[in-house]
Amino acid sequence: MNAATVCDDVRRLPGQRPERAGKSAVFSTTVPRVDRQDPAGNLLLAALTAADYGQLLPILEPVALPLGRVLHEAGGPRHYAYFPTSSVVVLVNTLRNGASTALAVAGNEGVVGISPFMGSESASYCAVVLGAGHAYRISCTALKQAFERGGKLQYLLLRYAQALMTQMMQTGVCNRFHALDQQLCRLLLLNLDRLPSNRLVLTQELIGQMLGVRREGVTEAAGKLKARGTIQYRRGHIAVIDRAALEASACECYAVVKLEYDRLNPVKSQAAITPVLQRRQEFTKPLDQIAGNAFAGFH
Amino acid sequence: MNAATVCDDVRRLPGQRPERAGKSAVFSTTVPRVDRQDPAGNLLLAALTAADYGQLLPILEPVALPLGRVLHEAGGPRHYAYFPTSSVVVLVNTLRNGASTALAVAGNEGVVGISPFMGSESASYCAVVLGAGHAYRISCTALKQAFERGGKLQYLLLRYAQALMTQMMQTGVCNRFHALDQQLCRLLLLNLDRLPSNRLVLTQELIGQMLGVRREGVTEAAGKLKARGTIQYRRGHIAVIDRAALEASACECYAVVKLEYDRLNPVKSQAAITPVLQRRQEFTKPLDQIAGNAFAGFH
DNA sequence: AAACTTGTGTGCGTTATCGAGCATATGCTC
DNA sequence: GAGCATATGCTCGATAACGCACACAAGTTT
């Protein structure tokens, strides 16, 4: 991790070189030039009052985030917090034996680095760029100061932290109960929602690390999706062909998380999630109403 | 859940009736009468400034929490936040199919119900009493108001929320990678740390629900611990005989979480965790230093 | 064009956990 | 003490994911 490379042009990345004449119609699709080269490309920043936004603007620093860049190391000090505009960052927890899982995905709806205002210099997870793109960074001390001024900024940051927590919990249960096939769909969708196109730059090996499973398992699961025409892929590039089918194949966890995040930004369209909203009742069923529950009779 | 029973005497609980003359030396051990019948029995409240504490005191309401009491339902509104003194509460996430996992354990070191000050009326998890005891409750609006006054109370609440997040993440990875045997040890220890004695009132069925595994699996894992003389149990009562052995059998996750929580309260002795502190280096190893990592070469 | 790196496809035996069913034991209630 | 609800113990086949080994293909470097 070299500080001098922080502002490198993101358009030149491993595995993301300028494409040759389209071999496949899907992969030659030009990526929409939604660079979101403006702090307001980050929904959290965009939701600030003009006064707050004005105060932050001069200390926000644009950075390009290449795939694999480690923004925060586990247990290490956080120097900057990042407001992604067109990048996707995952929060990864790693065990002693090297096994790791991504517990949360963050993008232009939030901020990477909540510890500064949560009262701790460090946190146990590490933050890694999974989708190359841009972000605006701010020094942790400045963010902390801004947070302590209270007001809408504080509210938005806390509200986001809460949503992040929800995502972590949901991913935690998902880890235990849902099949790899479903989890793959969830991961793809969470990334997709934070990117401007239907294409992801991800190797199966990397996906395996994010889900905490073997690469071979990902190959198998991805193969099924490919066979069904839901996705296409080749050497680290994934193109989602049928998003609806992907949502249908995902576990409920995607919907739960999406719903929570949609509540952060009431302006955003919720059209895509409507069928899920209707199932909300089931998600919120209390523990004691569930069949075979050992708590029954204690109330 | 009947509101009228909220203040029932906790000494009369299912499975916790007055004991007959000790059949077994372990189980007849009288529980130390550490009732912590004082808000200061909660470490978070105890750490407040005299002024803050004085302001909260009149609106804190003592409640007895019987085993199985649901404090917050998933997705439901939170009316009260709870500061446990001698009770243990788990935060449980439940899926549509009824499968559930406890992602965090809370006790007298913190508070149950962080959503009010995190800016949301509800949260996706539910909070269930796993260790009967006492707590002090406060209305969510009052807690929110107190939080907004800023100062040390705000700091402590946020700092705790951050630790809770760490616990959830750690539990999330633990869910995926660690064997049931290890997870059982972790769960027992986390409960033990929040209770005054070496005894837990827990059925294997309940443990299964907390860990998201079958009851039979718990039977097997508990059987091994019993055979090794680490614990004893009978019909919903577990007694920890050899705590050191239990710690040795637990996965690293217990230590990571304990360490994080110990940082909340610097006064507390860290003697028990010393060997773990020495291994801290390994926990914080960044993702890119780990063998077989797909990120290598991207920096 | 050749060599090389890196990503993907596949097969095979191993393992932990599951799901279901049933047996036994414990401790409460009457 | 008898009856009963419930906690625990045990078995068996099924299954998802693992670990490993290797073949092959795509794209880069020389």
Cβ within 8 Å of B, A 212-241: 212
Q: Do A173 and B171 touch (CB under 8 A)?
A: no
- When comparing pLDDT for A200 and A36, which is higher? A200
Q: What is the CA radius of gyration of chain A?
A: 20
Strand nucleotide closest to residue B296 (CA to C1') = C6
- Residue written as token pair 């960074």: A137
**Number of residues that this document lists for chain B:** 299
Q: Whole-angstrom Cα distance, residue B6 to residue B87?
A: 14
Q: Strand C within 7 Å of which CB atoms in A 11-40?
A: 15
Residue B176 touches partner A, C-beta closer than 8 Å = yes
- When comparing pLDDT for A191 and B268, which is higher? A191
Residue B144, token pair as written in the block: 């929110």
- Mean pLDDT lowest among A15-24, A75-84, A158-167: A15-24
What would the mean pLDDT of A266-293 be, rounded to a whole number?
A: 36
Task: Single out the residue of B129, B39, B34 nearest to residue A298, CA to CA.
Answer: B129
DSSP assignment of B111-129 equals -B--HHHHT-SB-SSEEEE
- Residue A295: per-residue pLDDT: 36
- Residue A264: per-residue pLDDT: 86
Q: Do B169 and A94 touch (CB under 8 A)?
A: no
Query: Which chain A residues contact residue B277 at CB under 8 A?
Result: none
pLDDT digits (tens, 9 = 90+) for A63-78: 999 999 999 999 889 9
pLDDT digits (tens, 9 = 90+) for B140-168: 999 999 999 999 999 999 999 999 999 99
Bridge partners of residue B135, in order along the sequence: B63, B84
Q: Whole-angstrom Cα distance, residue B188 to residue B254?
A: 10
Q: What is the CA radius of gyration of chain B?
A: 20
pLDDT digits (tens, 9 = 90+) for B207-233: 999 999 999 999 999 999 999 999 999
Q: Whole-angstrom Cα distance, residue B37 to residue B45?
A: 13
Residue B207 touches partner A, C-beta closer than 8 Å = no
- Residue B127: per-residue pLDDT: 96
Chain A's closest residue to B94, CA to CA, is A287
- Mean pLDDT lowest among A4-8, A112-116, B36-40, B117-121: A4-8
- Residue A267: per-residue pLDDT: 57
Alpha helices in chain A (DSSP H): 43-46, 50-56, 115-118, 140-148, 151-177, 180-192, 204-211, 215-227, 243-249, 252-264, 274-278, 280-283
Q: Whole-angstrom Cα distance, residue B275 to residue B295?
A: 31
A296 pLDDT more than 70: no
What would the mean pLDDT of A221-248 be, rounded to a whole number?
A: 93
Residue A284, token pair as written in the block: 């919120």
pLDDT digits (tens, 9 = 90+) for A204-222: 999 999 999 999 999 999 9
pLDDT digits (tens, 9 = 90+) for B29-38: 333 333 457 8
Element spanning B206, H or E: helix B204-211
A263 pLDDT more than 50: yes
A253 pLDDT more than 70: yes
- Residue B135 makes CB contacts below 8 A (sequence gap 6+) with B42, B62, B63, B65, B82, B83, B84, B85, B86, B87, B89, B112
Across the A/B interface, how many CB contacts are shorter than 8 Å? Answer: 246
Residue A77 touches partner B, C-beta closer than 8 Å = no
Cβ within 8 Å of B, A 23-52: none
Whether the beta carbon of A234 falls within 7 A of nucleic chain C: the reply is yes
Element spanning B286, H or E: none
* Diameter of chain B measured on Cα atoms: 67
End-to-end CA distance of chain B: 55
Q: Decide: A197 and A160 in contact? Cβ < 8 Å.
A: no
Tell me the three state secondary structure of residue A81. Answer: strand
| d(CA A292, nearest CA chain B) in Å | 9
- Residue B187: per-residue pLDDT: 96
Amino acid found at B135: A
